[in-house]
Amino acid sequence: MTRRLIARDRAFLWHPYTQMLDATAPLPIVKGEGVYLFTEDGRRLLDGISSWWVNIHGHSHPRLNQALAEQAGQLEHVMFAGCTHAPAVDLAEHLVDILPPGLTHVFYSDNGSTAVEVAVKLAYQYWRNLGQADRRVFITLHYAYHGDTVGAMSVSEDSIFTQAFAPLLFPVVRADAPYCYRCPLGLERTSCQIDCLASLENALRTHHDAVAAVIVEPMLQGAGGMITWPAEFLSSARRLCDRHGTLLIADEVLTGFGRTGRMFACEHAAVTPDIICLSKALTAGYLPLGATVVTDRVYEGFLSEDRSKTFFHGHSFTANPLACAVALASLGLFREQDLIGRIGALEAQLRDGLAPLRQLPVVGDVRVLGGVGIVELVADKQTRKAGGYLDGIGPRLSAAFLERGLLLRPLGNVVYFMPPYVITSDEVEWALAQIVDVLEHLPAV
């Protein structure tokens, strides 16, 4: 039966981020429960990446199942242009209540890339509406990844993800990211003064009259290498945007809803961006939903008797009631349970469990932030040479972990563990033991 399912998959499906010519057979998943996924051939796999960072309460959670079923029995969908409904309004109220203060108006879309696309278009049109159409430059950071739509790709790093589409993308100005292990200035974090910030400051000073926005992934840059930040970089970025009178966009598609140990990563530096992008864990992995939330200042830039200043953007499934209902139920679990405290305990366990790997010759750096543990592998500890995203070590490691019942998807030479928050201490201990054992027996990369 499994072979038939895989054969049918190969006959008709095209998987994301996959070279279909020589891809390994996909996992035939038939069930999810808690932190585990079950395959058609009877294997049980611990979901160590939260199914691409979206699942936070575990698979098939009874409360979320109930919320979805109840909403389906009442209203499955209605267009959001000219209509509204309680789940969308309730969710917006709850989001504004828990987001950094000052974020007041919610624009729904349907995934992370579109949440960013909305933010980019909002920032661009905001200045146009104010009569400052020359402010069209976006400043982004090296190693950034903001999604796969054209605008989101444009503000991402020039990388394997975007190279094929380079002629379609608009130009941006890129500044240094605070990648402490690979400091662009060759400094050590123990003694530096966040000197890499000078690159962003110079970009703003050079282009200040033309800058529409600075866009960042606060505290944790995801697909670019799971890069963790000093909080001082984020607070200084907000200060520089204020000084130069431009907008700050925070892409919290990955980092929102507890991943970094705070409800939102911006809380680490006590900053409020002008625009924040949310998705992934917003619905706890159940349904696609994006939200781009703005301050009064941005919202009011679109209020006009001139209808050409309307934000002409939308999606067929904007504010889908099913997705909004599940998102509300997910936020309810945060209110009822000390999930942030649980993530803090997970962070401590990850730090202790991964620390011994620092001694291995193939390990260049170990980073932990909130519920994310990261191990960066290198071919040479002195030069810090590594193969990057296309390093063949990634698929080999993924296969080795899979043999042990642990589902991980390394970003090339960067191994990360990002489980659902419901994982128990014993399950974390088991998963870390598999990671340590595989890496301890790993030949030089």
Secondary structure class of 128 (helix, strand, coil) = helix
Q: From the candidates 148, 280, 391, 421, give the one annotated as an active-site residue.
A: 280
Q: From the candidates 17, 41, 296, 381, give the one annotated as an active-site residue.
A: 17
Is 421 marked active-site? no
Q: By the 8 A CB rule, do 50 and 56 touch? A: yes
Question: Which of 350, 331, 370, 319 is closest to 115 using CA atoms?
Answer: 319
Is 385 marked active-site? no
Is 437 marked active-site? no
Is 251 marked active-site? yes
Q: From the candidates 145, 179, 286, 416, give the one annotated as an active-site residue.
A: 145
Helix 339-354 vs helix 321-336: crossing angle, to nearest 10: 80
Cα separation, 167 vs 150, whole angstroms:
11
91: its two tokens: 């969710």
Phi/psi-derived region of residue 366, left when phi > 0, alpha when psi is between -120 and 50, beta in every other case = beta
13: its two tokens: 């499906």
Single-letter code of the amino acid located at 129: N
Cα separation, 180 vs 408, whole angstroms:
24
Q: By the 8 A CB rule, do 177 and 221 touch? A: yes
> Which helix H or strand E contains 249, and what residues bound it?
strand 247-251
- The label of the residue with tokens 């911006």 reads 266
Q: From the candidates 176, 251, 274, 391, give the one annotated as an active-site residue.
A: 251
Which residues are marked as active site? 17, 145, 251, 280
